[in-house]
Structure 1
Amino acid sequence: MTNGAELERVELPSRFFGEGITVVGDRIWQLSWKSGTAFLRDRATLREKRRASYDGEGWGLCSSGGRLVMSDGSEELTFRDPNTFAERGRVTVRLGGEPVEELNELECVDGSVWANVWKTDRIVRIDPDSGRVTAVVNASGLLDESAESGAGVLNGTAATDAEGEFLLTGKYWPKMFRVRFVPE
């Protein structure tokens, strides 16, 4: 379906605020923002299978190379086991030697991790093994002035099935954009 219609809704208990989500085979992992709880769901039915605990906040989540990659709003990415959700390592993300803080929504594509940087119009491509930023996307100018005044921050990055194509949106954005990142 490409019209954006809601097909099904899964409500979380009121004490949880749902954040990052990723598909792993026939399962879905979903983070909660401040509750330190991850939900494992059946992909077909969306029913909760179990929960796992973690320290800190949950901001973004994606799956790559047999591991989960999680952001918590800091400059670190945490690697997790896709079956148990146990921590399996961390890496500090750096651009030109400096840490890149407030890594938010994540998307794993072709061995790289794409992350939007909270409260900016930047998306960074990260080598997950070294933490080195290998590209920076300037996503400013997508919204016209009239739409920008009521919109919040860039906060949604999703790869499509088309090679090199992404969907971008943000909190309270009236539109979603289908884009390709091209070098300057």
Structure 2
Amino acid sequence: MWSRIRRAGRVTALVLPCSLLALAASQSAQAALGSAPLTPPSDASVSSRVVQPASGTTQSVMRSESSAASSTSSTSASYTVRETTFGNGTVVREYLTTSGAVFGISWHGPQMPDLNDLLGSYFPQYVAGVKAVRAARGNARGPVSVDDSGLVVRSGGHMGAFSGVAWLPSELPAGVSGSDIQ
């Protein structure tokens, strides 16, 4: 599966073949904060739970892709948490309003999801925030916290263990705070 690069008779690096990189690229989330939930790849599993923040109760259900879309229109629920586990082990949770729009996203797992896909039209705002944070700390790398009035993103981790959250403060349903996005 791995190919080796040899220099002067010794192995200096391991390289993943291009076919596997293409497979990983095809597993991108294709979701966007502020719009419709992601369309998971065929090797992903999806579950949903309806959360009513006033009572703190949840109702967990396993749903197919077609029934998950219809479940988000429930008028009695404040929001739905839709969890997608990708074949690579990365888990993305989407927090949906009753109309089905994504107001928050969280992720954790061995691979960083494509934030361009997850953040959608908010990605340029995130990139600008990351540049500002890094410039303020002398271009040092590390966990990132972007906290603008219209977008909050917290991301960090290391190779094999990445995590983060993102939400739209103005789109949070009544009774929901940023700390509920986990």
Return the TM-score normalized by structure 2.
0.29
Return the TM-score normalized by structure 1.
0.29
Which structure has the highest helix share of the two?
A: 2
Greater RCO (CA < 8 Å, at least 6 residues apart): 2
Which structure has the highest strand share of the two?
A: 1
